[in-house]
């Protein structure tokens, strides 16, 4: 029994007891309205990809219209078939007597039907059956011809749209800043470009062409039902609102499940990508069982999600079909008196009516199945448009100046920098100022100077050099090239002035020739070989079975660390940039490889501006200037001997490294 406070609350605010606060209810409906509008905008944005294929789309709809008409015609032959099959001689004479002049539209239709029946029955039953057989073959041939044509056009449209979306996404990925890729897993990005696009393809084609096809068939069958027996057709129409309600209710659940499904696929792809990329580390630590267990866990999550999705999706088709069958049974039950009454239907018309009514179940069932595909595609499109709407952090200004040479210096003026946190990774930092990685950097690098950056790990050395090619923009202050702010320069032309050789050498699954010529696509064989000789790479390349046409595997796995580094240096030599950046270029090499790579670096740095990062202080002692960084600040600056005399941080690092 309700307590006294509850009764008082019910008398004052019954909605609070029966269904929550009045305000919360209105807010809930308001949120639903906003969500519906967002879904509609999302779907219209998807359909905009049909724009370049309007002609093919229109032609496909024309084929669907004829397909629907001839599908109806295939049912329409039931009545004349029964007429001819059970034809009596006196009935043929009666049919001839019915032919006359039409009066009005309905009279014209009646006379067309009489002429057709007269033509069928004029030669007797055997002749009528023969004529009808040819008609059936013709109707089904034309029906399936249009079915084939519309399917061909559908595949043409959906595959072109898939290609367009992937091209747009890949092009946009190339424009995004490095920060985006550092905040997102490679596997998740790949999943959006592959799995999500496949799901969206189904949403566009199934959500437009299939819906049109199924709807046209429903309309044709409904028209046949009405023409055959309009009174009984009122009962057949009971199935339509029920199916629409069923599709709507299931669709809401499917969209939510579809979003979760795409996330699970992305997680699974990310795990596979990371494991394969780090397979050497996995085997080094004998972590195969751990990786299998991790994959099994993610795979189980994917299984559970897709099982829930398919469980909900599978309900729509049998429920729609059962609803249609129930209506059909109801029609038969109600029609028992109608058939036997004074205004009775002829047997052939009743069978046409039943065939059309039950044939409506198939396209209605198809509409229910299409709904699951559309909802899954809408969930995937949210992820795709999330990527396409991601704005690059580094954007060229309108009319940015193209720079083609380096004349004077690179200047950092009171520059601060911080990485933008990813809200999904660090939600607690949302709305807060990110922690500075570099603080108050004042530095000028002269043309032709060799500048060395040293300091403890995490001091900000790599971040500092990443700002020179404008992979990131400072949060405060500015960087100048020959007196021009980097923000005012065209970023592509700026990066053409620079060659970067890092600790982690990036090579592609391609030939040695193409990897060296990556920065200069029109390079000749002689130019590539000269660059390889300068990088001490020509000798080992020549010893390979296919020489410069040898494919070196993903990330150059078929080469040693020193060989990969020399190929990377050859690539920089061929590009011939005025500014060079070396980020720990020899730190991971053995003594012999380091000597060869250092010789190549010395040749490369000749008459160029070079910024060198190195943990091994022996490699920076010849620098014109050494900048010592710690905790994002410049602590010291000068030549090797002068810094040792200061007995500061550089002196400490030097003594630690050389055990002094």
The share of the chain scoring above pLDDT 70, in percent, equals 71
Give CA–CA dist 111/103, Å, rounded.
9
Give CA–CA dist 415/435, Å, rounded.
14
- Give the pLDDT band (50/70/90) at residue 46: confident
Give CA–CA dist 183/172, Å, rounded.
16
| Residues 32 and 53 both lie in one domain | no
Identify whether the C-beta of residue 260 lies closer than 8 Å to the C-beta of residue 376: no
- Structural domain tally of the chain? 3
Identify whether the C-beta of residue 590 lies closer than 8 Å to the C-beta of residue 598: no
Q: Does 397 fall in a domain?
A: no
| Residues 335 and 455 both lie in one domain | no
| Residues 502 and 356 both lie in one domain | no
- Give the per-residue pLDDT at 414: 92
Which CATH number belongs to the domain containing residue 298 in this structure?
Answer: 1.20.1560.10
Per-residue pLDDT of 650-659, as tens digits, reads 888 888 877 6
| Residues 81 and 17 both lie in one domain | no
Q: Does 239 fall in a domain?
A: yes
pLDDT at 1 over 50: no
- Give the pLDDT band (50/70/90) at residue 9: very low
| Residues 319 and 378 both lie in one domain | yes
Q: Which residue has the higher pLDDT, 328 or 564?
A: 564
| Residues 455 and 362 both lie in one domain | no
Q: Give the HSE-up count for residue 597: Cα atoms under 13 Å, Cβ half-sphere.
A: 27
Identify the domain containing residue 369 by its residue range: 41-87+124-388
Q: Which residues, at least 6 apart from 218, have a Cβ–Cβ distance to it below 8 Å?
A: 360, 363, 364, 367
Q: Which residue has the higher pLDDT, 612 or 425?
A: 612
pLDDT at 16 over 70: no
Interval 246-258 mean pLDDT: 65
Interval 332-346 mean pLDDT: 60
According to the per-residue pLDDT averaged within each range, which of 47-61, 429-443, 605-619 is highest?
Answer: 47-61
Q: Which two tokens stand for residue 230?
A: 């309009």
- Give the per-residue pLDDT at 338: 60
Tell me the residue length of the chain: 660
Per-residue pLDDT of 460-502, as tens digits, reads 888 999 999 998 999 999 999 999 999 999 988 998 898 888 7
DSSP class of 315: H
User: Helix axis angle, 125-175 relative to 78-85, nearest 10°?
Assistant: 160
Interval 326-335 mean pLDDT: 68
Interval 500-526 mean pLDDT: 85
Which of 242-246, 380-384, 597-601 is least confident?
Answer: 242-246
pLDDT at 644 over 60: yes
**Residue 660: Cβ within 10 Å count:** 7
- Give the per-residue pLDDT at 76: 66
- Give the pLDDT band (50/70/90) at residue 433: low
DSSP H or E stretch at residue 146: helix 125-175
Give CA–CA dist 311/305, Å, rounded.
10
Give CA–CA dist 120/130, Å, rounded.
9
| Residues 15 and 146 both lie in one domain | no
Per-residue pLDDT of 343-373, as tens digits, reads 556 666 777 777 777 777 778 767 766 776 7
Q: Which residues, at least 6 apart from 558, have a Cβ–Cβ distance to it below 8 Å?
A: 550, 551, 552
Q: Does 504 fall in a domain?
A: yes
- Give the per-residue pLDDT at 119: 65
Q: Which residue has the higher pLDDT, 621 or 252?
A: 621
- Give the per-residue pLDDT at 250: 66
Q: Does 109 fall in a domain?
A: no
| Residues 589 and 652 both lie in one domain | yes
* DSSP letters for 35-97: HHHHHHHHHHHHHGGGGGGHHHHHHHHHHHHHHHHHHHHHHHTHHHHHHHHT--HHHHHHHHH
Which CATH number belongs to the domain containing residue 574 in this structure?
Answer: 3.40.50.300
Q: Is the pTM of this model over 0.85?
A: no
Domain boundary among 343, 366, 388: 388
Per-residue pLDDT of 411-428, as tens digits, reads 999 999 998 765 444 444
Which residue reads 């160029």 in tokens? Answer: 608
Domain boundary among 388, 407, 435: 388
Which of 85-99, 163-177, 512-526, 543-557 is least confident?
Answer: 85-99
Q: Which residues, at least 6 apart from 233, have a Cβ–Cβ distance to it below 8 Å?
A: 222, 225, 226, 353
- Give the pLDDT band (50/70/90) at residue 92: very low
| Residues 505 and 629 both lie in one domain | yes
Identify whether the C-beta of residue 195 lies closer than 8 Å to the C-beta of residue 262: yes
pLDDT at 175 over 80: yes
* DSSP letters for 360-416: THHHHHHHHHHHHHHHHHHHHHHHHHHHHT---SS-PPTTPBP-----SEEEEEEEE
pLDDT at 110 over 60: no
Interval 8-14 mean pLDDT: 47
């Amino acid at each position: 029994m309700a307590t006294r406070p509850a009764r008082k609350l019910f008398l004052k605010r019954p909605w609070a007891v029966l269904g929550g606060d009045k305000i919360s209810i209105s807010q809930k409906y308001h949120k639903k309205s906003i969500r519906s509008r967002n879904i509609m905008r999302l779907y219209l944005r998807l359909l905009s990809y049909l724009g370049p294929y309007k002609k093919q789309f229109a032609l496909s709809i024309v084929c669907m219209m004829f397909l629907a008409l001839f599908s109806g015609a295939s049912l329409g032959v039931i009545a004349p078939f029964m007429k001819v099959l059970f034809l009596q001689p006196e009935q043929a004479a009666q049919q001839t007597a019915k032919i006359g002049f039409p009066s009005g539209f309905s009279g014209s239709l009646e006379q067309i039907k009489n002429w057709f029946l007269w033509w069928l029955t004029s030669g007797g039953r055997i002749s009528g059956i023969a004529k009808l057989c040819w008609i059936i073959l013709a109707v089904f041939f034309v029906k399936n011809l249009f079915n084939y044509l519309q399917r061909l056009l559908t595949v043409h449209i959906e595959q072109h749209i898939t290609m367009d979306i992937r091209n747009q996404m890949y092009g946009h990925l190339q424009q995004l800043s490095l920060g985006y890729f550092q905040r997102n897993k490679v596997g998740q990005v790949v999943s959006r470009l592959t799995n999500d696009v496949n799901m969206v393809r189904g949403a566009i084609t199934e959500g437009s062409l299939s819906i049109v096809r199924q709807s046209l068939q429903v309309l044709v069958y409904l028209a046949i039902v009405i023409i055959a027996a309009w009174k009984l057709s009122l009962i057949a129409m009971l199935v339509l609102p029920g199916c629409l309600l069923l599709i709507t209710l299931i669709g809401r659940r499917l969209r939510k499940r579809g979003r979760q499904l795409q996330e699970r696929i992305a997680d699974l792809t990310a795990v596979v990508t990371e494991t394969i990329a780090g397979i050497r580390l996995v085997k080094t630590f004998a972590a195969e069982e751990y990786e299998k267990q991790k994959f099994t866990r993610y795979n189980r999550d994917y299984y559970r999600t897709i099982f829930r999705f398919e469980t909900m999706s599978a309900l729509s088709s049998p429920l729609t079909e059962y609803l249609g069958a129930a209506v059909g049974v109801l029609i038969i039950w109600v029609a028992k008196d109608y058939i036997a009454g004074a205004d009775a239907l002829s047997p052939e018309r009743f069978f046409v009516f039943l065939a059309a009514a039950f044939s409506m179940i198939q396209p209605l069932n198809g509409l229910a199945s299409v709904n699951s595909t559309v909802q899954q595609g809408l969930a995937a499109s949210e992820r795709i448009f999330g990527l396409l709407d991601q704005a690059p952090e580094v954007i060229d200004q309108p009319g940015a100046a193209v720079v083609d040479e380096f004349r004077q210096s690179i200047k950092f003026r009171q520059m601060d920098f911080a990485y933008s946190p990813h809200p999904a990774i660090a939600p607690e930092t949302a709305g807060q100022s990110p922690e500075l990685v570099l603080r108050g950097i004042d530095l000028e690098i002269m043309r032709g100077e060799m500048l060395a950056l040293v300091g403890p790990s995490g001091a900000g050395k790599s971040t500092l050099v990443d700002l020179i090619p404008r992979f990131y923009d400072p949060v405060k202050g500015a960087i100048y090239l020959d007196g021009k702010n980097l923000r005012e320069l065209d970023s592509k032309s700026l990066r053409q002035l620079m060659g970067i050789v890092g600790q982690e050498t990036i090579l592609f699954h391609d030939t040695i020739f193409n990897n060296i010529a990556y920065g200069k696509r029109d390079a000749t064989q002689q130019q590539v070989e000269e660059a390889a000789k300068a990088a001490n790479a020509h000798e080992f390349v020549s010893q390979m079975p296919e020489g410069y046409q040898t494919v070196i595997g993903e990330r150059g796995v078929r080469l040693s660390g020193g060989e990969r580094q020399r190929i990377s240096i050859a690539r920089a030599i061929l590009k011939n940039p005025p500014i060079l950046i070396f980020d720990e270029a020899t730190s991971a090499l053995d003594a012999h490889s380091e000597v060869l790579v250092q010789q190549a670096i010395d040749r490369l740095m000749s008459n160029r501006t070079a910024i060198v990062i190195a943990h091994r202080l022996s490699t920076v002692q010849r620098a014109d200037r050494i900048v010592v960084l710690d905790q994002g600040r410049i602590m010291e600056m000068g030549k090797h001997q002068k810094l040792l005399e200061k007995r500061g941080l550089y002196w400490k690092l030097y003594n630690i490294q050389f055990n002094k």
